[in-house]
């Protein structure tokens, strides 16, 4: 007998896109991760300046500077962190409403580095937004294999599994998200997780 699941009236949105950063891959737990541009107290910003084209582009991107897109293209031309630059251009194109161009950049990133975590994760987000849940799931699952301690991928996988009515796996994914994220971030999954657990009960 099929389980009728009543999801929350306002289901949570998937968690957002992830910029690629040279040398920053999600191999450590969330408490061990430091932002590339986190400043210690009293540090001077000039210490973070770099002559590399990609890092200049990333700095502009972090500041929401419109020159970031051209700076990433310059990095690609100079063969500097091509996969990372393509990935971040894909995010900028998606935000600008140019979805096809975003797909082109994400797939170009994967041509340069088939194991590029951020591009798989971001493609999952793009397909999720486009309503292609099957492809979203494929890329989220690859991303989870590449970066098994990155919490957001499990939240989004939980949403995908819930939408596909695979409720036990959705619960497992959301519990994994809460395990890896901070207590405050983990609260994002509370309502959906409680609904899934309550509605499925012993029928899981």
66, part of any domain: yes
The set of residues, in sequence order, having a beta carbon less than 8 Å from that of 86 and lying 6+ positions away, is: 72, 76, 105, 106, 108, 109, 112, 119
55-82 tens-digit pLDDT: 999 999 999 999 999 999 999 999 999 9
Q: Are residues 128 and 153 in the same domain?
A: no
Distance of alpha carbon 140 from its chain centroid, rounded? 9
Task: Identify the CA nearest to 71 among candidates 90, 58, 83.
Answer: 58
Q: How many distinct structural domains can be found in the chain?
A: 2
Mapping DSSP onto H, E and C, the string for the chain reads: CCCCCCCCCCCCCCCCCCCCECCECCCCCHHHCCCCCCCCCCCCHHHHCCCCHHHHHHHHHHCCCCCHHHHHHHHHHCCCCHHHHHHHHHHHHHHCCCHHHHHHHHHHHHHHCCCCHHHHHHHHHHHHHHCCHHHHHHHHHHHHHHCCCCHHHHHHHHHHHHHCCCHHHHHHHHHHHHHHCCHHHHHHHHHHHHHHHHHHHHHC
**Span of 14-23, 107-116, 156-165, 169-178 with lowest mean pLDDT:** 14-23
Q: Are residues 158 and 123 in the same domain?
A: no
Q: Are residues 60 and 87 in the same domain?
A: yes
The answer on pLDDT for 99 being more than 80 is yes
170-197 tens-digit pLDDT: 999 999 999 999 999 999 999 999 999 8
Q: Which two tokens stand for residue 122?
A: 């971001």
165, part of any domain: yes
Q: Are residues 119 and 181 in the same domain?
A: no
Q: Are residues 175 and 203 in the same domain?
A: yes
The set of residues, in sequence order, having a beta carbon less than 8 Å from that of 115 and lying 6+ positions away, is: 146
| Distance in Å from the first CA to the final CA of the chain | 12
46, part of any domain: no
CATH number for the domain spanning 63: value is 1.25.40.10
Structural domain boundaries enclosing 175: 149-204
State the pLDDT at residue 149. 96
Overall average pLDDT of the 40-44 stretch: 37
> Model-level pTM?
0.81
What are the phi and psi torsion angles at 198 (to 5°)?
Answer: -70, -40
23, part of any domain: no
Strand partners, 24: 21
Task: Identify the CA nearest to 156 among candidates 2, 1, 180.
Answer: 180
């Amino acid at each position: 007998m099929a389980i009728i699941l009543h999801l929350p009236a306002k289901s949570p949105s998937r968690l957002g896109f992830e910029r690629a950063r040279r040398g920053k891959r999600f191999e450590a737990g969330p408490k061990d991760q430091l932002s590339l541009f986190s400043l210690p107290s009293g540090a001077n910003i000039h210490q973070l300046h770099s002559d590399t084209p990609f890092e200049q582009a990333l700095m502009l991107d972090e500041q929401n500077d419109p020159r970031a897109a051209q700076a990433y293209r310059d990095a690609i031309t100079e063969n500097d962190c091509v996969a990372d630059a393509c990935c971040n251009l894909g995010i900028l194109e998606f935000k600008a409403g140019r979805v096809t161009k975003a797909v082109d950049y994400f797939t170009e990133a994967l041509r340069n580095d088939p194991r590029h975590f951020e591009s798989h994760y971001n493609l999952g987000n793009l397909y999720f937004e486009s309503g292609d849940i099957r492809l979203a799931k494929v890329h989220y699952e690859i991303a989870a294999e590449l970066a098994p301690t990155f919490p957001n991928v499990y939240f989004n996988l939980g949403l995908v599994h819930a939408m596909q009515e695979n409720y036990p796996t959705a619960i497992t994914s959301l519990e994994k998200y809460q395990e890896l994220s901070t207590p405050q971030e983990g609260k994002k999954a509370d309502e959906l997780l409680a609904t899934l657990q309550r509605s499925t009960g012993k029928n899981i």
